[in-house]
């Protein structure tokens, strides 16, 4: 009983210290209180990160997408890297920001981020690298897994199953997951080594890399707006007997996808004013339904 009580007291004290750190940590701080690079992570640490990445989408939501699973993936390594509770809380807060990446090649990004965390790079630099890489990794993952490897494995398994072989679905799972897990763990170690190899460059060119990553990230966001935000109007402009389509005759000639861009900027401005993503989703639904009913959209 005495041993259990001692364990409970230690756990309570640790929890209290963490709560105090979360309350006092400076959210606007861009660097860590302890800027001394941490000890390198072990192979077991990287493998543990890769295993935990399987839960990347366990808490998927439309506010922060995969942020909860992303932080769950990194927590053991972050605890080993950041000894000061304030640094750990600032790092955790940053990694709870929006993230959306392919779940199979996410470990490459995790490895790079952990190498940067180990070197105590600035939070803005780590954030910029995350934003710059999550879009390209999503496209590569979709092309490699969903559009290539999955149809190949499914075709082989289905052909055997149609012939009455019970080995068909088993072979499908074996083939698909051989590449899946091979890349998941291989990319984790490769990403970490790549990050370590680039630390000198990061240290001497932090501002340039952060600026370049920000440019790439903004380009990705711009492409996502044009691809995923669909907004058009059927309104017409009447000038005597002439009728001009407002969308194709005016807006598209000024700038293609002008309405999606404007709506995105409106949502961004409302978010900056304190509107929660859940409220913005509700407003978007109401705006879409009303716009359709009155003939504006």
On whether both 57 and 195 belong to a single domain, the answer is yes
Domain that holds residue 241: 233-293
On whether both 207 and 268 belong to a single domain, the answer is no
Measured distance CA(33)–CA(31) in Å, rounded: 7
What does the longest C-alpha to C-alpha distance in the chain come to? 92
- Identify the residue with better confidence: 57 or 211: 57
* Angle, helices 43-52/167-197, rounded to nearest 10 degrees: 130
- Identify the residue with better confidence: 39 or 139: 39
Q: What is the mean pLDDT of residues 257-277?
A: 84
On whether both 237 and 181 belong to a single domain, the answer is no
Domain boundary among the residues 175, 199, 221 is at: 221
Count structural domains, the chain: 2
Residue 4 lies in a domain: no
Residue 219: phi and psi, rounded to 5, are: -65, -40
pLDDT single digits (tens) 111-162: 999 999 999 988 988 988 888 888 788 878 888 888 788 888 888 888 888 8
Residue 289: phi and psi, rounded to 5, are: -70, -45
On whether both 267 and 120 belong to a single domain, the answer is no
Q: What is the dihedral of CA 148, 150, 153, 154, to 10 degrees?
A: -120
Domain boundary among the residues 221, 245, 277 is at: 221
Residue 31 lies in a domain: no
- Identify the residue with better confidence: 92 or 134: 92
Tell me the whole-structure pTM to 2 decimals: 0.65
Residue 228 lies in a domain: no
Instruction: Report the range of poorest mean pLDDT among 48-52, 135-139, 164-168, 204-208.
Output: 204-208
Q: Helix count (H) and strand count (E) of the chain? A: 13, 2
On whether both 210 and 240 belong to a single domain, the answer is no
Element (H, E) at 238: strand 236-239
pLDDT at 292 over 90: no
On whether both 123 and 215 belong to a single domain, the answer is yes
């Amino acid at each position: 009983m005495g041993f259990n009580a001692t364990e409970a007291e230690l756990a309570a004290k640790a929890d209290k210290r963490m709560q105090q750190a979360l309350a006092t940590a400076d959210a606007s701080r861009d660097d860590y209180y302890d800027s001394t690079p941490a000890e390198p992570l072990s192979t077991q640490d990287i493998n543990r990160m890769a295993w935990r990445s399987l839960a990347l989408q366990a808490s998927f939501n439309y506010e922060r997408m995969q942020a909860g699973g992303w932080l769950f993936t990194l927590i053991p390594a972050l605890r080993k890297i950041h000894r000061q509770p304030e640094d750990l809380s600032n790092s955790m807060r940053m990694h709870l920001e929006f993230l959306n990446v392919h779940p199979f090649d996410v470990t490459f990004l995790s490895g790079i981020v952990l190498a940067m965390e180990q070197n105590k790079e600035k939070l803005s630099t780590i954030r910029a690298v995350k934003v710059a890489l999550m879009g390209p990794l999503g496209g590569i993952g979709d092309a490699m897994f969903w559009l290539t490897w999955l149809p190949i494995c499914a075709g082989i398994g289905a052909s055997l199953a149609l012939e009455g072989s019970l080995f068909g679905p088993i072979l499908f799972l074996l083939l698909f997951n051989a590449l899946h897990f091979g890349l998941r763990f291989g990319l984790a170690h490769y990403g970490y080594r790549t990050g370590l190899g680039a630390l000198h460059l990061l240290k001497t060119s932090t501002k340039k890399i952060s600026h370049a990553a920000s440019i790439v990230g903004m380009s990705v966001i711009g492409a996502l707006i044009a691809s995923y935000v669909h907004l058009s109007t059927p309104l017409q402009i009447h000038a005597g007997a002439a009728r001009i389509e407002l969308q194709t005759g005016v807006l598209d000639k000024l700038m293609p996808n002008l309405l999606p861009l404007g709506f995105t900027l409106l949502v961004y401005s409302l978010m900056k004013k304190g509107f929660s993503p859940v409220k913005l989703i509700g407003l978007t639904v109401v705006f879409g339904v009303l716009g359709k009913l009155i003939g504006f959209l």
